Amino acid sequence: MIGIMADSHDNLDAIDKAVEFFNRQNVDIVLHAGDLISPFTAPRFEKLKMRFEAVFGNNDGEKDGLRKAFNKLCDLSDFKIINFEGLKIALLHGTDERIVKCILKSGEFDVVVRGHTHEAKIDEVNNTLLINPGETCGYVSGKKTIAILDPDTLKPKIIELE
């Protein structure tokens, strides 16, 4: 199982809830599609019991500090290609919609995981699954959401954290 989150915006309570959920669900990997915001969030993510991959978002201004804080967990960059259980996954924040559309239309990926809009959305474009888990922080929509994806069935599910 794949855990998916984005836009945590250093909301420690929401991060803790997401980490607890992913650990309880025994997911195999967690993907974070950007806007971690603060280096002080890294210890919260270190409580994950599985592989963690993340990318920068447009609000991640202290990139050197984030790289240093998250270096035990993953290497942070603007875009990642994740190969997981036979799936090729593009992971990006998605600030530029033109880039997201090009990646989707390329046909190179099974799944594209993005954030930025703070709106949970699942779509399919040219046989490529697009997943935006919404906002973990809950600041804009008032809903703290994450997603899970079964890599065997490619069935995603949006989860609202309590």
pLDDT band, residue 17 (cuts 50/70/90) = very high
C-alpha 29/C-alpha 31 separation (Å) is 7
Share of the chain above pLDDT 70, in %: 100
Do residues 132 and 117 make contact, with C-beta atoms less than 8 angstroms apart?
A: yes
Domain 2-160, classified CATH 3.60.21.10, yes or no: yes
Q: What is the pLDDT of residue 63?
A: 97
Decide: helix, strand or coil at residue 37. coil
State the average pLDDT over residues 97-123. Answer: 97
Residue where the block lists tokens 């046909």: 107
Number of Cβ atoms within 10 Å of the Cβ of 124: 10
- pLDDT tens profile 40-96: 999 999 999 999 999 999 999 999 999 999 999 999 999 999 999 999 999 999 999
For the four alpha carbons of 68, 83, 45 and 41, in that order, the dihedral sign comes to positive
0.85 surpassed by pTM = yes
Decide: helix, strand or coil at residue 146. strand
pLDDT band, residue 162 (cuts 50/70/90) = confident
